[in-house]
Chain A
C-alpha cells in the first residue's frame, strides 16, 4: 500500500523532510505559499540561485520527483479552510512551517481526523520534533496555544540546524507512518546541536480539558499513565537500501 503524506512548509525543514520521505516511497503533497529568495539559500540547501523567484512547493516537488519520488507542489497556505483539500488523502501530516498558528492548525486538524502527525521546529542552535498519533497526548496538550512562542525572527537559526532537525523529523515521520508508535506522544528536544547528548526524548501527559483532544475520534486516556519511552531504542525505520 502506498502511503501518502502532506508536508507543510518547503523551506529549511521541509526540504530534508520531503526529500527523505519521497525517497522512501511516500507520495507527497508539499504545501508552501512562498517563493525562493536569496536570503533562504544558506539553510534551504535544496534550492539554488536558479530557483530564485519560483514557488518553493513546486521546486521541492520537482526535486523529489527527480529522485524517483512522487510529489505535487501546492503554492498555498495551510489553513483550516484548505486543510481538507491539502491533506484529505494523507496518512500523515508533517509540519515544517515557521509559524506557530500553522503548527497548531496542522496538529488540530490531524487530531480531529485521527491522523498521525509530526511537528518540527528549529531555533538558533536547536529545535524539537513532536510525534503525534491518535490516542496519545497532542501538541495542544503540550503547548496549549500559539502565543508568544519565540520565533526565528527574534532569535535566528543556524543554517545546518534545520538539516538535522528536518532529518530527525523525517525519521520519526517514517516510523509513525509505518505503525511504529514507540515515540508517539513524545517530543525530541535538540537543545543545542553544538553539544553532545541531544536529543532528549521526553513524554508529556494528556491535559484535562484539551479542546483538540475533545474533537479526537480516539481520545487519550487521562487516567492511564503514559508508557515510559524506550530511550535507548532507535526508531526502526525501514527505508530503501542505499549505498
Chain B
C-alpha cells in the first residue's frame, strides 16, 4: 500500500505515527483517508481544496505540482512526503 510520511509538526494529530499506510488511489484520497482516521489532518494541508502555499507534497522524489497535483495517482509502493516550510535555529 502507499505510505504517507508525516512531518514531525503534524504527528500530534497522528498519535506520533510517522509513516501511515493508506489504501487511497490518489493523493487527494490519501489526505481524505488520513483525515477520517486523524480528524483535522486535511485542514493542516489544504485550504479550499488546494494545498496551502507553504506546504509541498511529493510522491517519491517528484513534486505533485509537476505531476497531476492532488489527483496524482498512487501505486502500491509509492511514498508520499509532506514538506512544510519551516524557519528555524532558535530554541523554544
Contact = CB atoms under 8 A, between A and B. Distances in A.
Interface size class on chain B is: 20 to 34
23 contacts: A11-B90, A97-B89, A100-B87, A121-B85, A121-B88, A124-B9, A125-B8, A142-B56, A143-B56, A150-B87, A151-B86, A152-B91, A157-B90, A157-B92, A165-B88, A191-B8, A192-B18, A200-B5, A200-B81, A202-B62, A205-B66, A226-B66, A228-B61
A148 interface: yes
B89 A103 contact: no
B65 interface: yes
Nearest to B10: A150
Contacts of B62: 202-203
Contact of A202 (B7, B9, B53, B81): B81
Given A128-B83, A201-B61, A202-B83, A13 B54 contact: no
Interface of A: 9, 11-14, 39-40, 42-43, 96-100, 103, 121-128, 142-157, 159, 162, 165, 187, 189, 191-192, 195, 200-205, 207, 225-226, 228-229, 231
A14 B89 CA distance: 9
A12 B53 CA distance: 27
Contacts of A150: 9, 84-87
Contact of B86 (A123, A159, A162): A123
A131 to B, nearest CB: 14
Contacts of A127: 86, 88
Given A9-B89, A143-B53, A205-B63, 14 more contacts: A96-B89, A121-B87, A128-B86, A148-B52, A149-B84, A150-B87, A151-B90, A153-B92, A155-B8, A162-B88, A191-B5, A191-B18, A201-B61, A204-B65
Nearest to B84: A150
A42 B92 CA distance: 12
Given A147-B53, A226-B66, A103 B8 contact: no
A153 B88 CA distance: 8
A103 B86 CA distance: 10
